């Protein structure tokens, strides 16, 4: 496994892969089984897998604690080497944003980014799309893989790639969960053992909404409001639970069939997100 610490080294290593298919997995490190599932899917689709590890300051709001984000580079490299990853790109902030964050060109995807997580985390998705666009340009992969746990992010990136005519296939991979249903996330490491026992209730409530809709219910507002109430009673601070169309993230209507339920809630100061796509009904 090769490691590139800057764009020059990245280009040198990529030159040796000329003509081979490349799958790319962008990450912020602190890797878990969810990230590794992306790597494995990448190898099922391409000859080489390239992974980036970069904690992107541009997607953190002033209220987020950037310095507290877990950084586990040596462990991450060991995990990726065990998976047979071809190349890992570990740029510095100065390498990706040499003139600083304030004057760096930004990529904005309108419409999809001012709802759900984007409503509270203003500017977050601009940071995501800017760094993903830059990484895709630097790596020039055939395929890039993203997890469905961050479904809004996935939809935003798909639109960015389509709108900008970027020659890369965006592949999604199902949310990886622990035995109790909790979506795997780097942020889970912030939770105490007591909170980890409570956290799976987030997904259980989404499954209950999906079951209700499959059974004929269409009062999305009422179903989602009940989720927030139940979560709050368990010790969460519910941020939102909403039914949205997967195509454009507009509020779901009774006749829609491409519906997902999105939820965000805070537990022990840690913000957890999850979603469930309701199969055709």
Biggest CA-to-CA distance, the chain: 57
Beta strands in 20-156 (DSSP E): 22-27, 48-53, 87-89, 143-147
Q: Residue 92, SS3?
A: coil
Q: Cα–Cα distance between 55 and 235 in angstroms, integer?
A: 29
Which residue in the list 13, 35, 48, 104 is annotated as catalytic?
35
Tokens of residue 166, six digits? 């970027």
Q: Cα–Cα distance between 266 and 237 in angstroms, integer?
A: 5
Q: Cα–Cα distance between 184 and 192 in angstroms, integer?
A: 15
32 labelled catalytic: no
- Report which DSSP code applies to 18: T
Helix (H), strand (E) at residue 230: helix 220-234
- Residues 45, 73: contact at Cβ < 8 Å? no
Which residues are tagged catalytic? 35
């Amino acid at each position: 496994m090769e490691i590139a610490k800057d764009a020059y080294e990245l280009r040198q290593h990529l030159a040796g892969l000329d003509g081979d298919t490349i799958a790319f997995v962008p990450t912020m490190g602190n890797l878990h089984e969810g990230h590794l599932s992306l790597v494995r899917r990448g190898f099922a689709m391409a000859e080489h897998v390239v992974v980036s590890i970069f904690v992107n300051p541009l997607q953190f709001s002033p209220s987020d604690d950037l310095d507290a984000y877990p950084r586990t580079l040596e462990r991450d490299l060991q995990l990726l080497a065990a998976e047979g990853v071809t190349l890992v790109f570990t740029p510095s902030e100065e390498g990706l944003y040499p003139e600083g964050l304030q004057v760096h060109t930004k990529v904005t995807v309108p419409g999809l980014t001012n709802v759900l997580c984007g409503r509270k985390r203003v500017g977050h998705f601009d940071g995501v799309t800017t760094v993903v666009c830059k990484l895709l340009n630097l790596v020039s992969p055939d395929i890039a893989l993203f997890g469905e746990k961050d479904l809004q992010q996935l939809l935003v990136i798909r639109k960015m790639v389509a709108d900008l005519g970027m020659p890369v296939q965006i592949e999604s991979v199902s949310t990886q969960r622990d035995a109790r249903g909790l979506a795997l996330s780097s942020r889970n490491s912030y939770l105490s053992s007591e909170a980890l026992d409570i956290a799976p209730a987030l997904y259980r409530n989404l499954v209950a909404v999906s079951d209700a809709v499959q059974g004929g219910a269409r009062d999305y507002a009422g179903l989602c409001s009940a989720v927030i109430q139940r979560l709050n009673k368990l010790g969460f601070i519910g941020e939102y639970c909403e039914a949205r169309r997967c195509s454009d993230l507009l509020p779901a209507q009774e006749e829609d069939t491409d519906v997902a339920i999105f939820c965000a809630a805070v537990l022990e100061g840690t913000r957890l997100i999850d979603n469930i796509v309701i199969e055709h009904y």
